[in-house]
Amino acid sequence: MMDKKISIILSTYNEAPFVVQTINEILNNIKNVEIILVDDNSPDGTLEKVKNVNNPNIKIFSRKFRGLASAFLLGLINSSGDIVGWVDSNMKSAAAKLPEMIDQLNNNDVVLLSRYVEGGDDKRDKLRSFASRFLNWIYQLTLSKKIKDYTSGMFVMKREVLLTAIPNCFGHGEFFVEFIYRALKRGAKIHELPFVHQADLITRSKTAPNLLHFIHLGFHYIGVIFHARTRRN
């Protein structure tokens, strides 16, 4: 699969300390790759740091609003790869797993990084880790127990699979949860690759900056998922 053209989408908002490390990790380890970076008007100089990389394989889009789902869709529209991927722009360790993830597409349609399969772990603070595990348990009960980690938000997939499973919802993490569910419903073969989410690699979440907000968003996602579960498409 490494001989295919690969598009990696990154969404940024105030990622100046980390984004160049992530970009270099991708460029140094994947041939025939394009990076589509969508920046949500970061005031910390993120965009300037990316521009200074000065690589023709980086496509940059700057906008004045936020949202992971809309960033992903903008990246997808402007991508040309046979394989499309998404990783957190502040996680070099996740980007380092991309070659292994892409290799797994030889036998799968979608590959997710997973904290909750054997060999994976979530080493963030205990309360946030517990809340994440609890929400994923709810998703397993309401959607499918085949997937252990619906919310890592880091994956690669074959383009033809992605185009048949684009969710109807928008926003943040609920977009990715519904994508996984729709891909499963359409018979996609999904593989979860173990990933250790290190506490010292985490910056403050842009969508859920505190635990209360994190839990609130989680239950909002559950509402969206119940709606997805009752739809026919």
- Written as one string, the DSSP assignment of 187-219 is T--EEEEE-EE-GGGPPPPSS--SHHHHHHHHH
DSSP label at residue 124: S
Tokens of 90: 């502040």
Average pLDDT taken over every residue of the chain: 86
Q: Distance between CA atoms of 66 and 207, rounded to whole angstroms?
A: 10
Query: In the chain, where are the structural domains located?
Result: 6-230
Summarised one tens digit per residue, pLDDT across range 110-160 is 999 999 999 999 988 888 788 888 889 888 988 889 999 998 889 999 999
Summarised one tens digit per residue, pLDDT across range 209-231 is 455 665 666 666 666 666 656 66
151 Cβ contact list (under 8 Å, min separation 6): 132, 135, 136, 139, 173, 176, 177, 221
Sheet containing 33-39: which strands, arranged edge to edge? Answer: 58-62, 33-39, 6-12, 83-86, 155-158, 110-114, 190-194
Q: Contact, 92 vs 19, CB < 8 A?
A: no
Half-sphere exposure of 225 (CA within 13 A, CB side): 27
Summarised one tens digit per residue, pLDDT across range 58-96 is 999 999 877 788 889 899 999 999 999 998 888 888 899
Summarised one tens digit per residue, pLDDT across range 179-203 is 898 899 899 999 999 999 886 544 4
pTM, two decimal places: 0.87
State yes or no: pLDDT of 9 exceeds 90: yes
Residue 8: strand, helix, or coil: strand
Of 200, 45, 225, nearest to 142 (Cα)? 225
CATH number belonging to the domain at 6-230, selected among 3.40.50.10440, 1.25.10.10, 1.10.260.40, 3.90.550.10: 3.90.550.10
Q: Distance between CA atoms of 151 and 132, rounded to whole angstroms?
A: 8
